[in-house]
């Protein structure tokens, strides 16, 4: 038997368990050139919500009644492909299945001795690369500047803040619980952190935490929280638009204050991106992140839940902020 | 006697004649190091609306019961300053007065034999430089790309479109009358132009006029018109936020669709600017614009109204779109 998770219905608003369907497939067999993979770790990420709807986007939507896929780590348990041998671990976009075959295309071998396997889904994977390229290529933070990060306790945000500290910036994080706020300061070295759920006036809280204004804003959330950062942006400020989780479950197009006025007044920049834009520079990014990790300049959080059956709920929990750092399911 | 125009009250919504006050001052006299200037041409520009309110902005607001100032061309009619002689013409930010004194700081001598004096307020002045630096430095249009310009028949827009054509782009303009639309195509060489007042579905009209999508959007207007361009932006598109005249007279902060989603989906950029950011490169810009003008690659429109008393109404008329190209008052 081989359990798989299919998209049962396109979520309306917040995803629910019934949008997913467990299916028992036959265990696949490999032919020449193929490898048989056993899934070890599954990454669940907010951007997958976009692929569950059929709106036009930068990636194809998932199809109804077909498997969902995401970043995974798998073990090669059988190989008829010269590039892989039994016992290798690989990272790549794989289906939510216990077992699957592959020709090995777009799979990257990962080394358990260099870092824990789950790190290749996080700080050394798309998460870390998203933080690294978004912050350095778009944000271009300079020593002494102030960097604000929303969704700061999340997988990307916590790495963004640490990189900004390495680069010599004052770093202020925004998160949704006192526990996360405490962790941002104690574990990740943020200079200040703000709990948006308990602060009455977010604009003022950001102004207070950023006495020299905001030079760079790494935005994972959008919505009201971002509005309150925008009003504090400095002249020539840079806003890195990485995510807008506040609205991923909205059923109508979100509206808010128009941004043109402050962009002109402050000669400021807003730029969206996806990490795939930097594919050619991934090796450079991974090398830098590995180095910082080895030098103990970078730490990371994971929320690891166990069991294949836990995947849908782990994904749903992202939108409740139940994860600290990277949310991963260990099979 | 020396007529001057003071700010009488801060406009609420659309400016009206009573927001301005005509004052008779004594004709000034110069001391050593000064020059006496007679105003010849006055530029009226949408951005002045911002300076009439006391909201925090990139320039100081005008003070109540003091003269308004803007870009002007004046003649030196008396000089006790070695750098200027009687008969020189100068360009710079001057008060709305018939006569005024100056120490010559921040004034640029302009040459009547190189171009008509009014051109130094338009194509060879801030207007042309705004078009040039916004389009080339932020928009970075590449040969064969599609450039859309809003407020295309305005002073800045008509120059933006022509520069984009010189650079080998397909250029589509948006304007508010059939007459302007015709002029964009016949006089300024736009490939297509759209009348936003008669078209039913702006998003579709832009899609039809831009079969390859929109790579660069030079935005002078903001609001609904821009929303309909945003939905047609290509991957890696660039939005130059130059102005938002649609909302300059709004009494409350304008709202609209949030932009984060399409910025991420398209890895697109929005950047605001003011021409002053490029002050160090003004000579380079003026040289390029002068060359294109002499080579007949660039043409321009002016709406010139006559008489010092006509200044307030000329300014008010900007918000009705009564100007074609640069609005100038000849004294």
CA atoms within 13 A on the CB side of A40: 21
Note whether B260 contacts A244, CB cutoff 8 Å. yes
Q: Which of A236, A264, A265, A266 has the highest number of chain B CBs within 10 A, making it the mutation to test binding with B?
A: A264
- Please identify which residue in the block is written with the tokens 């834009």: A277
Cα A236 to Cα A326: distance, rounded to the nearest angstrom: 32
ipTM of the modeled complex = 0.85
**Best B47, B134, B264, B265 residue to mutate vs chain A (most A CBs within 10 Å):** B264
**Domains of chain A, each with CATH number or no CATH:** 2-122+301-330 (3.90.180.10), 126-276 (3.40.50.720)
Cα–Cα distance between B120 and B130 in angstroms, integer?
A: 13
Tokens 């929280």: give the residue: A225
Inter-chain touch B257–A259, beta carbons under 8 Å: no
Q: Nearest CA of chain B to the CA of A242: how many Å?
A: 7
A253: closest chain B residue by CA: B257
Contact B242, B130 (CB under 8 A): yes
- Tell me the CB-side half-sphere exposure of residue A316, using CA atoms within 13 A: 15
First to last CA, chain A: 15
CA–CA distance, B1 with B97 (Å, rounded to integer): 11
**Cα of B326 to nearest chain A Cα, Å:** 21
pLDDT in tens, B46-66: 889 989 998 766 678 999 999
Contact list, A273 vs chain B (CB under 8 Å): 264, 267
Alpha carbon distance B306, A296 (integer Å): 72
Query: Hey, how many other C-beta atoms are within 10 angstroms of the C-beta on B163?
Result: 25
Residue B47 in tokens: 């951005």
Nearest to A269 among B242, B262, B269 (CB): B269
The alpha carbon of residue B143 is apart from the nearest alpha carbon of chain A, in Å, by 22
Is-contact B89 B99, C-beta < 8 A?
no
Walk along chain A (331 residues) in steps of 10 and give the mean pLDDT of each run.
96 95 96 97 93 78 96 97 97 96 91 90 93 98 98 94 98 96 97 97 98 98 96 97 79 88 95 94 90 93 95 95 89 95
pLDDT tens readout for residues B115-171: 899 999 999 999 999 999 999 999 999 999 999 999 999 889 999 999 999 999 999
> What is the model's pLDDT at position B7?
97
pLDDT-derived band at B323, boundaries 50, 70, 90: confident
Q: What is the DSSP string of B253-283?
A: --EEE-SHHHHHHTT-EEEE--GGGGGGGHH
Residue percentage of chain B with pLDDT more than 70:
98
Flag if A264 and B257 touch (Cβ within 8 Å).
no
Where helices occur in A19-154 by DSSP H, the ranges are 48-52, 126-133
- What integer pLDDT is reported at residue B252 of this predicted model? 73
pLDDT digits (tens, 9 = 90+) for B249-283: 776 779 999 999 999 999 999 999 999 999 899 88
Neighboring chain A residues of B273 at a CB cutoff of 8 Å: 264, 267
Which residues of chain B have a CB within 8 Å of the CB of A259?
259, 270
Contacts with A60 (C-beta within 8 Å, 6 or more apart), sequence order: A51
pLDDT at A283: 83
Residues 6+ positions from B286 with CB-CB distance below 8 Å: B124, B128, B129
The DSSP output letter for A139 is I
Q: Which chain B residues touch A if contact means CB-CB below 8 Å?
A: 56-58, 219, 222-223, 226, 235-236, 241-244, 247, 253-274, 277
Distance (Å, whole) CA A150 – CA A187: 17
Q: Which residues of B touch A254 (CB under 8 A)?
A: 257-258, 261
Question: In this predicted model, what pLDDT tens digit does every residue of A254-291 receive, in sequence order?
Answer: 999 999 999 999 999 999 999 999 989 988 998 899 99
- Of the candidates A222, A264, A272, which has its C-beta nearest B241's C-beta? A264
**Mutation site, A272, A274, A275, A277, interface B, largest B CB count within 10 A:** A272
Do the bridges between strand B192-195 and strand B170-175 make them parallel or antiparallel, or are there none, so unpaired? parallel
Q: Which residue has the higher pLDDT, B184 or A282?
A: B184
Q: Characterize B221-252 residue by residue with b for buried, 16 or more Cβ atoms within 10 angstroms of its Cβ, and e for exposed.
A: bbbebbbbbbebbbeebbbbbbbbbbbbeeee
Pairing of strands B35-43, B326-330: antiparallel
């Amino acid at each position: 038997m081989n359990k798989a998770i299919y998209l049962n219905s396109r979520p309306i608003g917040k995803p629910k368990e019934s949008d997913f369907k467990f299916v028992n497939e036959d265990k696949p067999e490999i032919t020449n050139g193929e490898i048989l993979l056993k899934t070890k770790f599954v990454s669940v990420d907010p951007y997958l919500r976009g692929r569950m709807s059929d709106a036009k986007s930068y990636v194809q939507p998932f199809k109804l009644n077909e498997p969902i896929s995401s970043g995974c780590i798998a073990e090669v348990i059988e190989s008829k492909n010269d590039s892989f041998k039994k016992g290798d671990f690989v990272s790549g976009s794989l289906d939510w299945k216990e077992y699957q075959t592959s020709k090995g295309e777009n799979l990257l071998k990962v080394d358990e001795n260099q870092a824990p396997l789950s790190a290749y889904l996080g700080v050394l994977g798309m998460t870390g690369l998203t933080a690294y390229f978004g912050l350095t290529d778009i944000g271009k933070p300079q020593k002494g500047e102030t960097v604000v990060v929303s969704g700061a306790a999340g997988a990307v945000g916590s790495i963004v803040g640490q990189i900004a500290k390495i680069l010599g910036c004052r770093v202020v994080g925004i998160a949704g619980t006192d526990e996360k706020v405490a962790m941002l300061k104690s574990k990740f070295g943020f200079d200040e952190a703000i709990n948006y759920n308990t602060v009455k006036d977010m604009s003022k809280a950001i102004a207070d935490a950023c006495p020299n204004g905001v030079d760079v804003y790494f935005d994972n959330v959008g919505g009201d929280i971002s509005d309150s950062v925008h009003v504090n942006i400095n002249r020539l400020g840079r806003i890195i638009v990485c995510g807008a989780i506040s609205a991923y479950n909205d059923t109508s197009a979100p509206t808010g204050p128009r941004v043109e006025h402050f962009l002109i007044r402050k000669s400021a920049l807003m730029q969206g991106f996806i990490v795939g834009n930097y594919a050619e520079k991934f090796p450079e990014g991974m090398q830098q992140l590995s180095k910082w990790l080895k030098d103990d300049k970078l730490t990371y959080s994971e929320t690891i839940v166990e069991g294949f059956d836990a995947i849908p709920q782990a994904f749903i929990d992202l939108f409740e902020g139940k994860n600290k750092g990277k949310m991963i399911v260990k099979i």
